[in-house]
Chain A
Amino acid sequence: MKNKILPIFLTFFFLIVFIVFYKGLQNSNIYIPKNNIEENIPSFTAQLFESSKKIKSEKIFKDDEIYLMNIWSSWCIPCRAEHSILKELSNNKKLKIIGLNYKDNNENAKKFLKDLGNPYETIISDKNGTLAIEWGAYGVPETFLIKNKKIIKKIVGPIDNNSAIEIKKIIQ
């Protein structure tokens, strides 16, 4: 009896270890952020891009309106790629696009907008990246769809045609 307990125990132990590791193999270890969260937008005070004036978030985001908050930068290559889609979305009168200029040089950012066009209604500036953290953002580009002061969709990375179609469907 005594001799049997140990082999049985060991077999079970290794079986459990095997199952745990085997299951672990299938899990992706890349963190994928939740992107469909109904979350209130943060409240903050930010500097406007065009002037040195400060603006409160309550003045930018109003109730009963739909906003697209886009984090961009002139040094970010994917931002260039998504810019034409943002331009196209800006033609939609129901949607207001707000830009958050992330860790950028003002001269370069202005040149970027001059070259590619300006889809933004308001641009706020985030010189040190802390405002982006307030939004729970990872980096550039990142886009938030906001309705009634709630984030209803979050797109990490550049907007592609599929997400543009999805956004259009939501605002209709």
Chain B
Amino acid sequence: MKLLKSFIIIFFLFSLNFSYAEKKNLQNQITKNLRCLICQGQSVYDSDSEFANSIKLLVQQKINDGQNENQIYNYLKDKYGEWILYDPSFRKSTYFLWLLPILIFIVGGAIILKMFILKKK
């Protein structure tokens, strides 16, 4: 009986730990996608500035409040502008950014196809 009790207690503690880890993971995932505006070139996750530490805390609070990833991104975008996000959304001013690699890939593919495959025939 004692064994069972201690087993239940251990199980309970482990499950608590696990849910904490899950929240921590989500917080890390979000803060890795945020740019620290004070120490540019670093993510909020990497930075230890006052600003970044406050953002980390805020993200943690919002997760505890039950907000999802996108809600948190939108909140911060609203406060600081899109620059705070590492992943720019697909808009008129970013068409070039998103489509250029695909375009280069297609054109490059066409050149290779023309030069090597069609030549052999």
Q: Does B79 contact A (CB under 8 A)?
A: yes
SS class, residues of chain B in contact with chain A? helix
- Do the beta carbons of B37 and A129 come within 8 Å of each other? no
Which residues between 93 and 115 of chain B lie within 8 Å of chain A, taking CB atoms? 111
Chain A residues, Cβ within 8 Å of B80: 33, 136
Of all chain A residues, which has the CB nearest B51? A139
A35 smallest CB distance to B (angstroms): 12
- Do the beta carbons of B54 and A130 come within 8 Å of each other? yes
Chain B interface residue count, CB cutoff 8 Å, equals: 17
Chain B residues, Cβ within 8 Å of A6: 111
Q: Does B50 contact A (CB under 8 A)?
A: yes
Q: Does B33 contact A (CB under 8 A)?
A: no
- Total A-B Cβ pairs within 8 A: 39
Given contacts A136-B80, A139-B50, contact A128 B40 (CB under 8 A): no
- Do the beta carbons of B53 and A129 come within 8 Å of each other? yes
Chain B residues, Cβ within 8 Å of A128: 54, 57
| A29, A133, A134 pick with most chain B CB within 10 angstroms | A133
- Do the beta carbons of B55 and A138 come within 8 Å of each other? no
Given contacts A31-B83, A33-B81, contact A132 B54 (CB under 8 A): yes
Chain B residues, Cβ within 8 Å of A31: 37, 40, 83
Q: Does A1 contact B (CB under 8 A)?
A: no
Option from B38, B40, B57, B111 in Cβ contact (under 8 Å) with A130: B57
- Do the beta carbons of B38 and A138 come within 8 Å of each other? yes
Q: Does A103 contact B (CB under 8 A)?
A: yes
Q: Does B74 contact A (CB under 8 A)?
A: no
Chain A residues, Cβ within 8 Å of B79: 133-136
Q: Does B68 contact A (CB under 8 A)?
A: no
Residues of B within 8 A of A (CB): 37-38, 40, 49-51, 53-55, 57-58, 61, 79-81, 83, 111
